[in-house]
Structure 1
Amino acid sequence: MQTNDWLQFALFLGLLTLITKPMGLYLMQVLDANGRTWLDPVLKPLEKLTYQVMGTDPQREQNWKQYTFAMLVFSLVGTILTYAILRCQHLLPWNPQGLPGLTPHLAFNTAVSFTTNTNWQSYGGEATLSYFSQMVGLTFHNFVSAATGIGIAAALVRGIARSSATTLGNFWTDLVRVTYYLLLPLCAVFALFLVSQGTIQNFDSYTKALTAEGAEQMIAQGPMASQVAIKMLGTNGGGFANANAAHPFENPTPLSNFVQMLSIFAIGSGLTYYLGRMVKNQAHGWAVWAAMMILFTGGVMVCAYAEAGGNPIHQQLGVAVADGNMEGKEVRFGIFNSALFATITTAASCGAVNSMHDSFTAIGGFVPLFMMELGEVVIGGVGAGLYGMLVFVVLAVFIAGLMVGRTPEYLGKKIQAKEVKLAMLTLLVLTLSILGFTAWASVSAWGVAGLNNAGPHGFSEMLYAYSSATANNGSAFAGLTANTPWYNTTLGVAMLIGRFLMIVPIMAMAGSLVQKQAAAPSAGTFPAHGATFTLLLIGTVLLVGALNFLPALALGPVVEHFLMVQGRLF
């Protein structure tokens, strides 16, 4: 890493730290049904009208079953409507290219992908989807899937913060307020910034251009800035263009690249401060944030070091060592910005990419894969990262209780068998989906047929795909041909498992915790803050979360690394 790389990384961490508190305080206002914001004069009438149209009472709170059921019904209806739009886009307006409807398996995969905040794309956006599909079918989900994740996180935090209660808030209220008061205004400002940097925002037909060789090239147009804004802030990741954030129309300048990276972490980072404020223990919120940042910093250092070192196979062919591994990277971003972006987007369950992860070195590609398999808890998706990390918090205090020989407590509430079983069920669902689908694909003709690489790298492509789908990340090792009936269907099912089969036990845990009476801390209470707690939490994430995947990682990127060092492909 060069001096300017260190300075940029320090600037990124510094700015992220500075915005964490104000973002958390604003989230307090937004997630309080009676909270007041400076946008009330403009948005309050719209909010009230929305509740009237929906026929819901925003003050009527729900227990965990009612909250979860409302979320599931809303997600199901959204999936069905989006599937219909994608299948019939050739009959709908704003389709200047005359693009046909999607095949059933691709429409299923895409509808599920955006409903679950995954935004996995088995297609090239600008060559497959009409403007109507992009704006109405997909951008709608970019907002509401992000709002849903934040709402689930808020419900779990309420379950921890409240004592001897039964309700966790109102799903419809959380959905509306997060969308209106948080995501829409932030995205409006962010989209204008992106336009100022050169990101396009129009409804023009594609431009035909003549290349230097005399061939005809189609240059994509469309409403990109508005979609890029929410794909980053909502940690969605789905690109308007197939090249995603590597496309100069989506991410034109180093400044737009830096702000896009910061925006991916912004809301997730603020949620840790919201946690501390809600449980009246701000040190706890910062301890969770610190655990996330330590894991993130380690990932950045390893990935950047691996990519800067380059590929020995390339160097045998005469590529200078000093150039590092520039394969699959944009020259305007370089190695460090590519490695930093890759780590951020996989740590945050975003899935946007400004370089091709399939072209990273073995260890460089190991890092984004590892970040996803941690459970997307290093900031994670908006909301999803916090509630995923709180599962590990429950396990960490349980382990601490076992070590000192007393009933585990978390912020005054006893952690008993029910909470531990629900936490472990959440982690087992993630593990079973990733490893189960990867194993199935690796021994099936349809799985192997999609590979463009043999040996351990080919295995890594499959492992990455199902890790990305189950973790609701959406990025890919682009060497995998996934637009087939088997891959689209199995990846779609993995996305549903990773989103909803993890949310249900987490909400059940929230329902259990909210009923518990919080006791005053005593001399034997394990403090949920400070360096000891932070290190225990990091150890729990690494040992309980990541070790499940060590054998699979050894078969993929680890073996590939040793082969690469020897100058061999496989």
Structure 2
Amino acid sequence: MNTELLGIIATYLLTVILAIPLGIYLSKVFAGEKVWTDFLKPLENGIFKLSGINSKEQMNWKQHMKALLTINLVWLVYGFFVLLQQDKLPLNPDGNPGMTPDLAFNTIISFVVNCNLQHYSGESGVSYLTQHFVLMFLQFVSAATGIAAAVVFFKAFRDKTTTALGNFWDFFVKSITRLLLPLSVLVAVVLAFNGTPTSYEGKDQFISLQGDTVHVSRGPAAGFIAIKHLGTNGGGWFGANSAHPLENPSYLSNMVEMISQVIIPIAMVIAFGYFIRRKKLAWMIFGVMTIGMFLLLLPTLSSELGGNPAIAKMGVSQTTGAMEGKEVRFGPTASAYWSTVTTIISTGSVNSMHDSGMPLTGLWQLLGMMINSFYGGCGVGVLNYFIYLIIAVFISGLMVGRTPEFLGHKVEAREVKIAALITLLSPFLILAGTAIAAYVFTNHSGAAWAVQPKTWLNNPGFHGFSEMLYEMTSSNANNGSGFEGLGDNNVFWNVSTGFVLLLGRFLPIIGPVAIAGLLGAKKFIPESAGTLKTDTMTFSLMTFAVILVLNALSYFPALALGPLAEYFTLFK
């Protein structure tokens, strides 16, 4: 086994080792139990007092969702106008211009919904003020929004029958003060000592070995990059994201950033089990997610380490694997691991160019985002998995001839209908969006509103279709990574993906929380000999089968037209 494989194995094991105690800690924080960070209570109480919030007031699920949607709307409006006017505001030493309305519309929605799809180039698209006081701020609060929504879901199953699901603002603030902010400081310090910029100075310049004058963007990037990963946000300070040598200077920083983006999603699964006192259920969920992750990772490693046959025909040795689009500091192994975890957990950051990956690598990246529940984003990964779980409970109940139940609550028509609608939402947004894009590309090459779609694709054909499919999939999954051969900064892509971002973020949050709230309010039914247990290996395999079947039926035709067709063309 070579050192590159040992590197990713060590990275994953460290992630799990750190995530388990973090999950136990989070369960205690949100349950109101005594923890070592209670010294922060005066700060939190001061925030609540200043805001006029009674953090002890209990909310039902509808009140939680009202608070969540209202505050997100405020952030959206605030950020939109700052992006439009950033050229007239301070902390803009490089003189970056204000955004066009359509680009500002897409950018602010993207950061509010924890996606960070960037149709601009980081260092040249926004000012330092915008980076810090809009985008970095949103990376904290959007992650905290997802975590707070997950805790509402947790609360619904902690007690036997309840409509009192805690206080959204309490969960939200604690997500930042007790989790995101302390970890971000720690990660930012590590990055700063490895060479990531932390100053507010403008561009620097140096003379290259070829004698050219090179201008290098700088800025207070370390803190931004820390929360970009910890919050499963993914937006890069620099346009090249974590493939940039200042955003990801070394293999150590690469490991730290990979651990950072996976640790909270895994910890939230562990926290769920400890919070509702069903540890075995949490480990079963973790097992299904982990199997799913490895089923995507292993063929990705095989694809990237196998090299490119088109390059091999040119007589070029590929003993290290397919290096196109990879940073030589990391190589194809670490890049393959990163590309897998960043697409299954909706971070969307990159340390290599996904557009340059092998065709089957693109297939597994797309499938990871389409499933969107193998660990998933901060908080929302558990919510996405819950939808599959409810479908599995319903099908299993029909198979054994019993009324479906989950944790002592009957799953009835209303809950199943909500789960079915959320299940159908993603295929509709992805496939309908891609179909519209393909139609516009084919039939409206000269339309002003489309900004010459014939220039969208640098790689027409199968790969071009994959680029459009990837953009819609990434938007729906709140991922943010892209096949950057696609020219996406135009009215069509900015507006269309903006609406997909909104729907793909908030409906999959509202649906699971609504189901949990409805179930939690129902009469608790004690377990009996005929109860379908959901914390067994048999039921876990059933849930895994539901995930595979639903996604295969939904997406196989589109994947066949894109990455699969490209693969067979390349290897014909």
TM-score grouping bracket, smaller chain normalisation: over 0.9
Letter in 1 for 2:153: L
State the 1:263 CA deviation: 1.2
Measured in 1, the distance between the counterparts of 2:319 and 2:187 equals: 36
How do 1:151-170 residues align onto structure 2 when only pairs under 5 Å count?
151-170=148-167
The gaps in structure 1 that reach 5 residues or longer are: none
Q: Which residue of 2 aligns with 1:265?
A: 262
Say if 2:71 is the partner of 1:65.
no
Say if 2:478 is the partner of 1:478.
no
Q: Which residue of 1 aligns with 2:292?
A: 295
Query: Which of 491, 501, 504 is equivalent to 2:507?
Result: 501
Q: Deviations over 1:379-425 (max 9, x none)?
A: 11100111101111111121211111111111222111111111111
Letter in 2 for 1:492: G
Indicate conservation of the 8 Å contact 2:310/2:570, yes or no. Answer: yes
State the 1:12 CA deviation: 2.9
Measured in 1, the distance between the counterparts of 2:21 and 2:160 equals: 27
Q: Which residue of 2 aligns with 1:192?
A: 189
Q: Deviations over 1:489-512 (max 9, x none)?
A: 111111001011222222221221
State the 1:246 CA deviation: 0.6
Measured in 1, the distance between the counterparts of 2:202 and 2:9 equals: 42
Q: Which residue of 2 aligns with 1:178?
A: 175
Query: Which of 241, 244, 259 is equivalent to 2:241?
Result: 244
Q: Which residue of 2 aligns with 1:36?
A: 34
Query: Which of 376, 381, 402 is equivalent to 2:377?
Result: 381
Q: Which residue of 1 aligns with 2:447?
A: none
Say if 2:207 is the partner of 1:210.
yes
Indicate conservation of the 8 Å contact 2:201/2:219, yes or no. Answer: yes
State the 1:51 CA deviation: 0.5
- Classify the secondary structure of the residue corresponding to 2:59: coil
Say if 2:388 is the partner of 1:392.
yes
Identity %: 41
CA RMSD of aligned residues (A): 1.3
Letter in 1 for 2:38: D
Measured in 2, the distance between the counterparts of 1:292 and 1:448 equals: 40
Q: Deviations over 1:158-205 (max 9, x none)?
A: 123332211322111111111111111111111111112222211111
Measured in 2, the distance between the counterparts of 1:424 and 1:54 equals: 38
Say if 2:351 is the partner of 1:345.
no
Measured in 2, the distance between the counterparts of 1:10 and 1:239 equals: 25
Q: Deviations over 1:61-94 (max 9, x none)?
A: 1111111011111011101111111111112111
State the 1:333 CA deviation: 0.2
Q: Deviations over 1:542-569 (max 9, x none)?
A: 1123430111001000000000102xxx
Measured in 2, the distance between the counterparts of 1:382 and 1:484 equals: 30
How do 1:45-444 residues align onto structure 2 when only pairs under 5 Å count?
45-374=42-371, 376-444=372-440
- Classify the secondary structure of the residue corresponding to 1:217: strand
State the 1:448 CA deviation: 4.8
Change (3 A) 1:538 1:12: farther
State the 1:275 CA deviation: 1.2
State the 1:214 CA deviation: 3.3
- Classify the secondary structure of the residue corresponding to 2:319: helix
Measured in 2, the distance between the counterparts of 1:524 and 1:94 equals: 65
Indicate conservation of the 8 Å contact 1:208/1:216, yes or no. Answer: yes
Which sits farther off after the overlay, 22-31 or 234-243? 22-31
TM-score (norm 2): 0.96
After TM superposition, where is structure 1 displaced by more than 4 Å over at least 4 residues in a row?
Answer: none
- Classify the secondary structure of the residue corresponding to 1:88: helix
Indicate conservation of the 8 Å contact 1:441/1:448, yes or no. Answer: no
The gaps in structure 2 that reach 5 residues or longer are: 445-449
Q: Deviations over 1:308-358 (max 9, x none)?
A: 111111111222242321000000100110000000100110000000000
Measured in 1, the distance between the counterparts of 2:532 and 2:11 equals: 33
TM-score (norm 1): 0.96
Indicate conservation of the 8 Å contact 1:469/1:495, yes or no. Answer: yes
Measured in 2, the distance between the counterparts of 1:537 and 1:206 equals: 52
Q: Which residue of 1 aligns with 2:494?
A: 488
State the 1:259 CA deviation: 1.6
